[in-house]
Structure 1
Amino acid sequence: MLTRMVTDKLAEYSYNAALAGLHYSLSAQVLQSSLTVAVQGYNHKLPLLTQTILEALAGFKGGEEDSELFRRLHDRLLKDYANDLLAQPYQLAMAATAHLLVVPYSTRDKLEAARTLTPSLLRSFLPRLLHQCRLEALVYGNATEAQAMALFERTRTALKRPTPLPAPVLRGLGWRVVSLEEGEEVHYRAACENPEEPNHGVQVSYQLGPQSVPLSTRLDLLVLLLKDEAFNELRTKQQLGYIVFCAASGANRHILSLSFLIQTVKDPSIALAAIDAFLDYARTYLRGMSAEDYAANVSALVDAKLEKPKNYAEQGNRYWNEIGKGAYLFDRAELEAAEAKTISKEELIEFLGACVGRREGG
């Protein structure tokens, strides 16, 4: 709600800035428990735009003059949360998985909390938010180190923050992730909010562990080899539904999982059994893959890792993702590309068995 109100109050200012080629976004990142300000455009005016945004945030009062704005945006917020409850079943399955493993509240919880929100509660929230916040910043593009540090100092001053903490102290901030013990299974089933929805959403995730170059590279290669075959088996042949995914996922962006997602009109138990059967079949599929096809897939993964960013924004997003993960591994692409070249097909088959608790002959 706070980000919506500040963004709306800055609308006239940001419109003129946009005409001059300057853009910004102010957003809440739930999984990182953070508030993100992103600015881009002509570098000589970015410090002024950044300072204006942060001063508007830090100086937000939400007084009587904003009562109509609060009423309008509060109504919109309630509608958005209510609509989130009526999302497609596969989206609800993803949200439920995040709620079980990471986020300690559901969309329903947010809707109930939003109904009790008042301007006075919002005003009292902002000082607590600024008091607890820790700053991390990335400046990428046409700026010197001195200019980047000066921009950070303007940010810190605008938010009235003390001397910044070093990066290692900041690692691990945000929600913790529920750790599933080896062999442990958690099943969760919830009714859809829309009684007329004919589909079911089914997500199965195999939690693997904290992100590392060897783990993430093997997971990316495994998904590359299996995703098309999973689509072919589960959607084309078995016709479970139009939405079928096999993907690498990351709870709180640093605990990796192998995930399967299906939206189907059939009973969820049928989809679960189909995913289980596919994982048994997957080892046979990988064993039958020729050395040439396997090598071609490894090369494709290496090429994807080493593909040059198309623009500053894409490269900046890569760097910011590393900061968001708390990993700060800015040469990840090169390290993972080198790692991919060392993975044999036999090793990957063993990795699949370890992922889903199936050993050869088990």
Structure 2
Amino acid sequence: MVTKEYQNLKFQLPYQQAMYYCSLLLEDHSWPWMEELEVLPHLKAEDLSRFAPLMLSRAFLECYTAGNIERNEAECMIQHIEDVFFKDADPICQPLFPSQHLTNRVVKLERGLNYFYAKEGLNPSDENSALVHYIQVHRDDFALNVKLQLFALISKQPTFHQLRSVEQLGYITVLMQRNDSGIRGVQFIIQSAVKGPGHIDLRVEAFLKMFESKFYEMTYDEFKKNVNALIDMKLEKHKNLREESRFFCREISDGTLKFDRREAEIGALRQLKQQELIDFFNEHIKVGAPRKKTLSVRVYGSRHLSDYTSDKSDTVQPHSIQVDDIFRFRRSQPLYGSFKGVFGQVKL
């Protein structure tokens, strides 16, 4: 069953493949599913029986409780688990050594460079191609977060209108924020049967150039309207316990531990000036900005394989880097520091 699930990954939609490659390029602790698939046929029952005690020989517990439970009850539950794991007469495991604690590290793209990664689609019968055009912006920071969120809010509808409705590049056309373990950015995701990823990438750049003038021409009233709309979105309560738990668990898993994020970002929004948003755009988003960092992941469907060959053979433009080997690229790049462990242990 597990083998079949891995084999079915090649039938993912092209935009899902592009997002997968983007994560593989950026996340230091990530492994390709094809390597895992290659290992599966060699696993035996005795391998798993030997692995279980090894896995539990040393452990680190990170716990979160939610719902109709008092604080002292939650603490007692966790204390009992810790006693069974670590303090029993015959403890299941020992604590991790400090050097064994996992971290979430993300590739730090170099300012002023455009990175490209191209790959043929895994499903030869799928004609669609896909592009993920990712702009890496900053490490988690309340003031920068709200500027990025506001840009995404303002540009989301114009992106869909221009690239989907007017140019009809593809049925799937999305502009959304991206958060990799606290490293923030924005990404254009487009899947198309009519144009290859190289052409779509050029249209994304053309859209940003066109949008630049509209962004500058935005009136103060329009600016405040968007700010207030974002504040209203942040003031909405979690719809259910699962949604609330997902928020807190994300803060814990990323290591950011900013449980007052909503209140702090609302405060930053209320102090935000329109010129600060324009300066943010000019520094991080504007085409040709000296500090801008982009990564374009292109997946070529069967209809655009000739484009794949020609795009790969094109002369690399100045300030552009063609990535051919994901893991060689990752090994050669600096990494952002992990938020894991920065604040020490926190009790809720």
| Correspondence for 1:189 | 118
Secondary structure of the corresponding residue to residue 141 of structure 1: coil
Q: What residue in structure 2 maps to residue 23 of structure 1? A: none
Q: CA deviation at 1:180?
A: 1.0
How far off is 1:185 after superposition? 2.6
Query: 1:142-161 counterparts in 2 under 5 A?
Result: 142-159=68-85, 160-161=92-93
State the 1:97 CA deviation: 0.3
8 Å Cα contact 2:57-2:94 kept in structure 1:
no
- Deviation per CA, 1:160-194: give whole Å up to 9, x if none: 355799xxx89x83342111111233211111111
2:189 equivalent in structure 1: 261
Segments of 5+ residues of structure 2 without an aligned counterpart are 86-91, 293-348
Query: What code does the residue aligned with 1:255 have?
Result: I
1:341 aligns to what SS in structure 2?
Answer: helix
TM-score, scaled relative to structure 2? 0.75
Q: What's the TM-score, normalizing by structure 1?
A: 0.72
1:137 match: secondary structure: coil
- Following TM superposition, by how much is the alpha carbon of 1:92 offset from its aligned partner in structure 2, in angstroms? 0.3
Cα deviation, residue 263, structure 1? 0.4
Following TM superposition, where does structure 1 have runs of at least 4 consecutive aligned residues deviating by more than 6 angstroms? Answer: none
Verify the 8 A CA contact 2:112 2:289 in the aligned structure 1.
no
| Residue-by-residue CA offset, 1:197-219 (whole Å, 9 max, x unaligned) | 11111001111231111122111
Q: In the alignment, what sits opposite 2:108? A: 179
1:210 equivalent to 2:139? Answer yes
Change over 3 Å in CA distance of 1:127–1:355 after alignment to 2:
farther
2:45 maps to 119
Distance 2:57 2:207 in 1: 50
Q: Paired residue for 2:279? A: 350
Q: Deviation string for 1:69-116 (max 9, x for gaps)?
A: xxxxxxx11111111121000000000000111144212122112232
Partner of 2:20: 95
Partner of 1:83: 8
Q: CA deviation at 1:132?
A: 4.3
RMSD after superposition = 2.4
Does the aligned pair in 2 maintain the 1:258–1:355 contact within 8 Å?
A: no
Structure 1 residues 264-279: aligned runs within 5 Å: 264-265=192-193, 266-279=195-208
User: Matched residue of 1:186: which SS?
Assistant: strand
In 2, the alpha carbon distance for the partners of 1:182 and 1:163 equals 40
- 1:277-356 correspondence runs (5 A): 277-356=206-285
For 1:220 and 1:124, the matched residues in 2 are separated by 48
Equivalent residue, structure 1, for 2:127: 198
Task: Give the whole-Å Cα distance in 2 for the aligned partners of 1:317 and 1:104.
Answer: 22
Matching residue of 2:36: 110
Partners of 2:45 and 2:259 lie apart in 1 by 41
1:273-324 deviations in whole A, cap 9, x for unaligned? 0111111122212122232222111111101111112233322222112111
Answer whether contact 2:58 2:96 (CA < 8 A) is retained: no
Q: Which amino acid aligns with 2:6?
A: Y
Distance 2:185 2:41 in 1: 35
Which residues of structure 1 form unaligned runs of 5+? Answer: 1-75
The percentage of aligned residue pairs carrying the same residue is 29
Partner of 2:311: none
Q: Could you tell me how far apart the structure 1 residues matched to 2:131 and 2:203 are? A: 11
| Cα distance per residue 1:237-262 (max 9 Å; x no partner) | 110001111111012x2111111111
Of 133, 140, 143, the residue aligned with 2:66 is 140
Single out whichever of 268-277 and 99-108 deviates more from structure 2: 99-108
